[in-house]
Amino acid sequence: MLKLIKNGEVYSPDYIGKKDILITGDKIGYIADSINIPEDFVNIEVIDATDKLVVPGFIDSHVHIVGGGGEGGYKTRTPEIQLTDITTGGVTTVIGVLGTDGTTRTMSNLLAKARALREEGITCYAHTGSYQVPVRTVTGSIQDDIILIENIIGVGEIALSDHRSSQPTFEEILKVASEARVGGILSGKGGVVNIHMGSGKRKLDFLERIVKDTEIPITQFLPTHIGRSEELFKAGIEFALNGGFIDFTTSTVKEKSKSKSSKCSSRLKMLLDNGVSINNITFSSDGQGSLPSFNEHGNFVGLGIGKVTSLYKEVKDAIIEENVEIEDALKVITSNPANILKLIKKGYIKENNDADIVVLDKHSMDIVTVIAMGQVMIQNGEVKVKGTFEE
């Protein structure tokens, strides 16, 4: 069946005006000011987007799809994510990661879940490894994993400046970056090193030293959780002003304790006010990961769970509360992660791209309809496709 989205104001994510979009199979086939196909000519589903915004499907570049955690013992291991946990947040592409636990959560688990989510209708990739160095891979080599395994596009999340990290040396991180870079070059993938940033005093020191002392470019890294502390945030500003990419975690801080200045939406506004290019900023949710709390002695005191739905909420708040331009706010969850990770058919509404589209209410900015790979997952706020084991 063809699908025709009519009369919507399209953000590609840059604004391109009121357009009609014809979806053919799982691709965007044609975009024009007006497309009219006789209903008796072909089986076609028309989606009326009058008074609505049509934007690219969202990309969440950091999701614990097989669950995460265990910092409070075995009972605190979070469960696997379900399809609608993702699609109700407007997300149509996810990157799966392991995290703290690289023992009871394995790369085999991660790849199997990534393929399951693809079978259920969304796009899912994965990074090889977890917090630990040496990196636990599938083939025994970061470079081989990236080159030979279709779903694997990078490495991480590798933990730095954190009491839960494996305390890798500078040389070990340099070796990880080198393997990821060559693997990416030879496979045409991003080969990005996703770095979990803790609140330690070393902050981004290792990455800055690699850029200064070696030939590896600053764009090889995507450090995340940059909003974790004021000190790390300030270091992140400098890192981005020097050309680096920085990622903010939308569900790290529990909502009840969020101050206005610590929200990702506010951080985005501050970054732009400080001259950081919008193209160097991404948001990710840390979805389904555990959100542990530790006291000043590093002892576990509580646990929350990350939500993919937090991703667009922070973007929406940036638009409504912080007056960030819609185009800029959208880029941190669409074109920017697509460019950084080299997801060439993602992140933009343009002909021949994958038909990943979100329709928003123009006034409330709420999610109305979600289309992933040409399939309507959410329509007028109602779930149309559930995961295999969802009721």
* Band of residue 277 on the pLDDT scale cut at 50, 70, 90: very high
Q: Of the candidates 124, 112, 54, which has an alpha carbon nearest to the alpha carbon of residue 83?
A: 124
Q: Is the pLDDT of residue 253 over 60?
A: no
CA 301/CA 72 separation, integer angstroms = 8
Cα distance between residue 387 and residue 294, in whole Å? 34
- Whether 368 shows a pLDDT value over 90: the answer reads yes
Strand residue runs (E) in the chain:
2-11, 15-24, 27-32, 44-48, 52-56, 58-63, 91-96, 123-128, 152-160, 192-197, 221-224, 246-249, 281-284, 290-294, 300-305, 357-361, 367-372, 375-379, 382-383
Looking at this protein, which amino acid is placed at residue 322?
E
Instruction: Give residue 51's pLDDT.
Output: 97
Q: How confident is the model at residue 260 (pLDDT cuts 50, 70, 90)?
A: low
In DSSP terms, 67 is beta-bridged to: none
Active site residue 286: yes
For residue 316, which of 53, 123, 71, 61 has the smallest C-alpha distance?
53
Q: Given this model, what pLDDT does residue 62 score?
A: 97
Q: How many CA atoms lie within 13 A of 57 on its CB side?
A: 33
Q: Which two tokens stand for residue 121?
A: 């209708």
pLDDT digits (tens, 9 = 90+) for 101-150: 999 999 999 999 999 999 999 999 999 999 999 999 999 999 999 999 99
Share of the chain above pLDDT 70, in %: 96
Q: Is the confidence at residue 255, as pLDDT, over 60?
A: no
Catalytic residue among 60, 101, 247, 286: 286
Q: Is 264 left (phi over 0), alpha (psi -120 to 50) or beta?
A: alpha
Tens of pLDDT, residues 52-74: 999 999 999 999 999 987 778 88
Q: How far from 355 is each of 98, 123, 216, 233, CA to CA, in Å?
A: 28, 11, 35, 35
For the ranges 36-45, 73-82, 261-270, 352-361, which has the lowest average pLDDT?
36-45
Angle between helices 264-273 and 310-320 (to 10 degrees): 50
* pLDDT score for 142: 98
Cα–Cα distances (Å) from 291 to 72, 238, 249, 274, 287, in that order, read 11, 27, 11, 29, 10
Using DSSP's 3-state secondary structure scheme, residue 181 falls into helix
User: Looking at residues 16-42, what average pLDDT do you find?
Assistant: 91
Neighbours of 277 (CB within 10 A): 13
Question: Is the pLDDT score of 259 beyond 70?
Answer: no
Ordered by where they begin, the domains of the chain are 2-55+348-383 (2.30.40.10), 57-341 (3.20.20.140)
Two tokens, residue 160: 């730095």
Reported confidence tier of residue 220, pLDDT bands at 50, 70, 90: very high
Residue 245 has pLDDT above 80, yes or no: yes
- How far is Cα 106 from Cα 2, in angstroms, rounded to an integer? 40
